[in-house]
Amino acid sequence: MLERIIPSTKKSLPVIGLGTSRVFDIKPTTELLAIRQNILDILLDNGGTLIDTSPMYGKAEEIIGRLIETYDRKKELFLATKVWARGKSEGEHQIKESFSKMHTSKIQLIQIHNLLDWKTQITTLRKMKELGEIEYIGITHYKADAFPAMEKIINNEPIDFAQFNYSLGEREAENRLLPLCADQGVATIINRPFMRAKLFSSVKGKVLPSWCNDYGIGSWGQFFLKYIISNPAVTNIIPATSKPKNMLDNSLAGIGRIPDSKIKRKMLEIL
């Protein structure tokens, strides 16, 4: 799988990861847990490593914890969660809970979810980073109207990652945010790559253009992800899925040729 460099450490990160909002907020039945375990295996088998979650996603952190507690491949994972709290002590308590729910002593990245009380939470995260308790600090949002606030933080605070929405259907990040992250040495994680599956409805009944073969694009999922990958300021993308077959489909988007500007223009004509 294609890898991109995290500017602050120069370490590389495989470009396709996994989102867990809703799809990992499940009842821990043997059957549902086995499906999620299979999804993790497929992510790792195909070269991916990053799982993104949050205390906001119901049982998702707990489910990840149950899956990785005895997982012999736990060390291969790059775990990213968030702090979504107001106030110092509430934030610290929530972070402690994330480590405990996920049955891990190592969370690589903690992000400030939707910038909530970011001035307070960033101080906590900075201290944790200094102590070696986490490797990276990040901020997240999912709406373009938050981009000016994100840009201000990126310009003024030392952060490692910014996570935001970007897709063929929501392209605002191309204008300023992605170039700014590249300039400031901030790694990017792309959420809502399928606009929560809305993009699939917009191509319902359409067949993939024949030139897709030349770019190893074998599905609409790969089409949408390859468009995002073709932006060099993108470090990682976190499509969420509850299905092993879709995890494989998404992983395959991280392999093969990257669309050039001519192909990108053709991709835009699809919607």
Ligand X SMILES: NC(=O)c1ccc[n+]([C@@H]2O[C@H](COP(=O)([O-])OP(=O)(O)OC[C@H]3O[C@@H](n4cnc5c(N)ncnc54)[C@H](OP(=O)(O)O)[C@@H]3O)[C@@H](O)[C@H]2O)c1
- DSSP 3-state assignment of 187? strand
Q: Which residue is nearest to ligand X (CB)?
A: 19
Residues that bind ligand X (CB under 6 A): 19-21, 23, 52, 113-114, 140-142, 163, 191-197, 200, 221, 238-243, 246, 249-250
Strands of 107-112's sheet, edge to edge? 18-19, 50-52, 78-83, 107-112, 134-140, 161-165, 187-191, 236-237
**Closest CB to ligand X among residues 235, 241:** 241
* 131, amino acid identity: L
Q: How far is the CB of 142 from ligand X (least distance, A)?
A: 3
Q: How far is the CB of 262 from ligand X (least distance, A)?
A: 25
**Closest CB to ligand X among residues 30, 201:** 201
46 burial type by CB count under 10 A (0-12 exposed, 13-18 middle, 19+ buried): middle
**Closest CB to ligand X among residues 43, 131:** 43
**Closest CB to ligand X among residues 156, 201:** 201
Q: How far is the CB of 82 from ligand X (least distance, A)?
A: 6
Q: How far is the CB of 251 from ligand X (least distance, A)?
A: 9
Residues making up the chain, counted from first to last: 271
94 burial type by CB count under 10 A (0-12 exposed, 13-18 middle, 19+ buried): buried
